[in-house]
Structure 1
Amino acid sequence: MDTSRTTTAALMALAATLALLAGALARDTDYCYQDESEKYLLFASKTAYEFVRDSRRGAEILPHCTPLQVWWLNRHGTRYPGKSTIKSMAEKLPGLRDSILTNHQERSGRLCDADLEALQQWKLTVSEGQENVLTPAGEQELFLTAKRLSDRFPEVLKLPYTSSRYKFQHTDSQRTQESARQFARGLFTDADVVNIPPADKKDLLLQPYTECKVWLEGDKSDPPEWRKLVEGSLMQSLIANVSSRLGFRSDLKFVDVDTIYDMCRFQEAWDVQKTSPWCAAFNKDELKLLEYAEDLRYYYKSGYGDEKNVKLGCPLAKDLYERFNALATGQGEQPAGVFYFAHSSTLHMLQSRLGAFRDPWTLRADNYQYLRQRAWRISLMGSFAGNLGAVFYKCAPPGEPESKQVLFLAGEGPLDLPGCKVGLCTWEHVKQLLEPVAQECNLDWCEGNGATTITAAHLPFVAALLLALTSLHEIVFEL
């Protein structure tokens, strides 16, 4: 070991730190992200599940009711970035980090000492070859979700495993396959006996959009409303503020700011106990605007902003209806647990088909200030390991006729749907809304030979919401 080189390196690091501390005496700072007690941790699709899941729930108690099936759709857990994002991080961030440190040594910039020291110690720990792979944090998210569900619904999820009693299905990707495996580990002591079938290359249930020509042809560019927001005054002001905070005398490009944001939110998800030094580039209001930008993108790419997205949610809605209808009518055997593992688009399309997380106004670039309390919020509805579940109950209160109930869940908390109460719906209501969807569900229009127009009557749960809109005073919406 060359001790002289080690000593020299240590002295250089010490000198750099002292230079930063000296520079701090002559500059203003905004705040210290490292010391912030209430960090803003909603990062849209890159939000850690631990930050948003409903942690208040224990064993589910519905008097005189017995669960017969848990139907569950889970987005994969926290993953590493895609190939292009990793490449961008590797190419841009080390140079940006060095420039930021130099800027502050020259008494330009407004980062605090703790954030500068954390940035100085930062290293990129992900490389090409790890793209889109499930992280250890992602494995833990799925494992613990299953453990909690098992404790919450022991009547159906603590039964001995058989392949007919528990159904697993995932898409053709490492991150969903491993998510399914970790979920199985959380449910069963001996997860090795669990039959998780290999994925279909063409999965019209979990990824119908990948086989939909009409949808694919209309999905090549970024949504116009997203571009308007990125090019508009709010985002340009954000870029200017971030550039100044980091000590640059001319504004960074949006792609650079976006790469910094990606590093910030990925790191926060990879280890929820640590903080990313890159998040110090933004204040809370700026993080909220960046969150809205992604909400806007998903709104048009996989949500209510395009009617094709809503139609592509019908295969899963049909599967849910047909399984619950079989339980309601006693026709045929059904698994106690049905578990699907897919992607954010799958989740958002089903949510839209059900009428969940729907705002009374269209999301646009120019109405961000009025949609601070919007329902369509990817952080809360589509985080890493985000999920949507439904539980079918048979109820027999003493002295009353037998009835059926359905409990809808999102992030393990109640999913509010029109016509239901705190996530709990009568089976008659669910049947009334989902039966037409199941009967009309087909993907023939994807070839471009059929009409793509849909109406409120075809949207389960949305019809009830639209009726409510006729009396605006009944809408509880905080501006």
Structure 2
Amino acid sequence: MMYSFKLAIIFILITVAYSENCTDGKDILEHHLSTKTPYRLVANKEDIEIKNEAIKGCLPHKIWMVIRHGTRNPSAAFIEKMNDRLPEIRTLILENNPEPTEFLRQSDLYAFEKWKSKLQTTDEKKLTHEGEDEMLELAERMQARFPNILRPVYSNTSYYFKYTATHRTKASAKFFASGLFGRHIVKDVWFPKPVKNDPTLRFYKLCPRWQSEVKNNPDTFFERKKFEESDHMLTIINSVNNALNLDDELDLDDIYLMYLTCAFETAWNKKTKSPWCSVFSMETVRGLEFAEDLKYYYRDGYGYEVTYKQACKMLSDVISYFENKSEYPKAIAYFTHSGTLLKLLAHLGLYKDDEHLKHTHYGSNSHKWRVSKIDAFGSNIALVLYKCQSKYKVTVLHQENVMKLPNGEEFTDFSKFKKLYKDSVNECLFDEICSVQ
């Protein structure tokens, strides 16, 4: 009994140290969890900085936001793997590591002993408490920055919210609204009935060419497959097995399962370290993160022209909204998914590398397309229209940071912005872009 009590104390002390370390800004493992990275690790929680000279005489006039849902539960298929395979792996780890090792501390072993999956398949993809907090806090920060637009009094004239036909985006929209107006007002907020395949919020669902040439095309994952077959990935697999004193019991599927469980449990819990994170070194987790970067680069990013060109649907929506002479609504907020955010980022020309990302680039750590940073849970893009003395100007925010556009400017004339993205204004021929060749 006393031994168990001591173990518990050790575990608590380690957990406190871990939670403090998570916020110190250092390059730690939890910053490399691909699209399951929690938003708290990438959000800009400080003031938005725009040079005083540029913003002089200008006031925020309208804001348009697209927001990925907050932290969620995994899919039903993944939950089944968590419930079936992870207990088997945990048993292997404990049986082969009865005492602390150079790699596994006593607190890690204790955490494995206590670990169990708490999800059922009926919980799939639901927004979690952390996801609720992400939306509440994002809304509060944006309101503090743009108080004349995001006013705390709700009016369906001033605000237009829309979400996709999923639990996680619906809940995200409601908690974002709670952050703006308070929980007691949310019942009065009007949300239009969601559309299964919304032509603006999930345009790619209505793009047959993208579906056939990209999503369902095995060649899309060629670079990721080459990386998984490389000596780098073999080293990662061997490294994890050796660190856990296992004789090749774990294959690549097992390692991805542990990596993504580490990611989900990190996102769900601010203060408690997932035992599944303890099986990875920085080197191994960076390799798995790179494999994910390759996947999303080719499926949702710059790998294929049709992927990002179809996102003109969203940008043309922005431009039409900003061009509308009516001052209302003051704010539009769309709640959607990873695939939408990434395609829009690529359409805007952000995080674009000089050459296509290849499996041979592993180890350089120089590529810009890093989904852990650009597509965490709760990721968001905001375009803000400023009314100046004689013109309108636009700035683009991503993860609440001001972005430099391809023209080199952070705060640009609206006329320049439209010229920069003229294809989205004049040539958003979605049906033509998406027709199967």
Partner of 2:191: 196
Checking the alignment, whether the CA contact within 8 Å between 2:244 and 2:279 is kept in structure 1 is: yes
2:44 pairs with 1:54: yes
Q: CA deviation at 1:246?
A: 1.1
Q: Give CA deviations for 1:71-114 in whole Å, capped at 9, x if unaligned.
A: 10000000000111111111111111111011012888831212
2:153 pairs with 1:164: no
2:125 pairs with 1:138: no
Checking the alignment, whether the CA contact within 8 Å between 1:165 and 1:335 is kept in structure 2 is: yes
* Cα distance in structure 2, aligned partners of 1:164 and 1:150: 17
Partner of 1:355: 349
Partner of 2:239: 241
Mapping for residues 356-435 of structure 1, pairs under 5 Å: 356-370=350-364, 372-396=365-389, 402-421=390-409, 423-435=410-422
Partner of 1:65: 58
Q: CA deviation at 1:425?
A: 1.7
Checking the alignment, whether the CA contact within 8 Å between 2:140 and 2:180 is kept in structure 1 is: yes
Q: CA deviation at 1:392?
A: 0.2
Q: CA deviation at 1:420?
A: 3.8
User: 1:98 is aligned with what amino acid?
Assistant: T
Mapping for residues 37-436 of structure 1, pairs under 5 Å: 37=21, 39-42=28-31, 43-57=33-47, 62-105=55-98, 110-158=103-151, 160-189=153-182, 190-218=185-213, 219-220=215-216, 221=218, 223-326=221-324, 330=325, 332-370=326-364, 372-396=365-389, 402-421=390-409, 423-436=410-423
Q: CA deviation at 1:159?
A: 5.9
RMSD of aligned Cα (Å): 2.5
User: 1:195 is aligned with what amino acid?
Assistant: W
Gapped regions of structure 1 (runs ≥ 5): 1-9, 22-31, 397-401, 451-479
The structure having more radius of gyration, on CA atoms, is 1
Q: Secondary structure at the match of 2:156?
A: coil
2:435 pairs with 1:445: no
User: 2:186 is aligned with what amino acid?
Assistant: A
Q: CA deviation at 1:251?
A: 4.8
* Cα distance in structure 2, aligned partners of 1:105 and 1:441: 62
Moved more, 111-120 or 338-347: 111-120
Q: Give CA deviations for 1:377-421 in whole Å, capped at 9, x if unaligned.
A: 11111100000001000112xxxxx12211110111112212243
Q: Secondary structure at the match of 1:223?
A: helix
User: 2:223 is aligned with what amino acid?
Assistant: E
Q: CA deviation at 1:144?
A: 0.8
* Cα distance in structure 1, aligned partners of 2:289 and 2:412: 31
* Cα distance in structure 2, aligned partners of 1:449 and 1:288: 37
Checking the alignment, whether the CA contact within 8 Å between 1:44 and 1:382 is kept in structure 2 is: yes
Q: Give CA deviations for 1:180-202 in whole Å, capped at 9, x if unaligned.
A: 11111111132221111120123
Checking the alignment, whether the CA contact within 8 Å between 1:323 and 1:334 is kept in structure 2 is: no
Partner of 1:462: none
Identity of matched residues, %: 31
Displaced runs of 4 or more, over 4 A:
32-36, 58-61, 106-109
Partner of 1:477: none
Mapping for residues 13-52 of structure 1, pairs under 5 Å: 37=21, 39-42=28-31, 43-52=33-42
* Cα distance in structure 2, aligned partners of 1:449 and 1:175: 31
Gapped regions of structure 2 (runs ≥ 5): none
Checking the alignment, whether the CA contact within 8 Å between 2:70 and 2:168 is kept in structure 1 is: yes
User: 2:401 is aligned with what amino acid?
Assistant: G
Checking the alignment, whether the CA contact within 8 Å between 1:109 and 1:246 is kept in structure 2 is: no
* Cα distance in structure 2, aligned partners of 1:154 and 1:64: 17
Pick closer, same or farther for the CA change 1:112–1:160 going to 2, 3 Å. Answer: closer
Checking the alignment, whether the CA contact within 8 Å between 1:33 and 1:115 is kept in structure 2 is: no
Pick closer, same or farther for the CA change 1:107–1:96 going to 2, 3 Å. Answer: same
Checking the alignment, whether the CA contact within 8 Å between 1:392 and 1:407 is kept in structure 2 is: yes
Q: CA deviation at 1:160?
A: 3.4
Partner of 1:5: none
User: 2:265 is aligned with what amino acid?
Assistant: Q
* Cα distance in structure 2, aligned partners of 1:362 and 1:334: 41
User: 1:445 is aligned with what amino acid?
Assistant: E
Q: CA deviation at 1:449?
A: 5.0
Q: Secondary structure at the match of 1:206?
A: coil
User: 1:384 is aligned with what amino acid?
Assistant: F
Checking the alignment, whether the CA contact within 8 Å between 2:208 and 2:436 is kept in structure 1 is: no
Larger RCO (CA under 8 A, 6+ residues apart): 2
Q: Secondary structure at the match of 1:124?
A: coil
Checking the alignment, whether the CA contact within 8 Å between 1:110 and 1:247 is kept in structure 2 is: no
Aligned length: 417
* Cα distance in structure 2, aligned partners of 1:136 and 1:107: 33
User: 1:180 is aligned with what amino acid?
Assistant: A
Checking the alignment, whether the CA contact within 8 Å between 1:34 and 1:114 is kept in structure 2 is: no
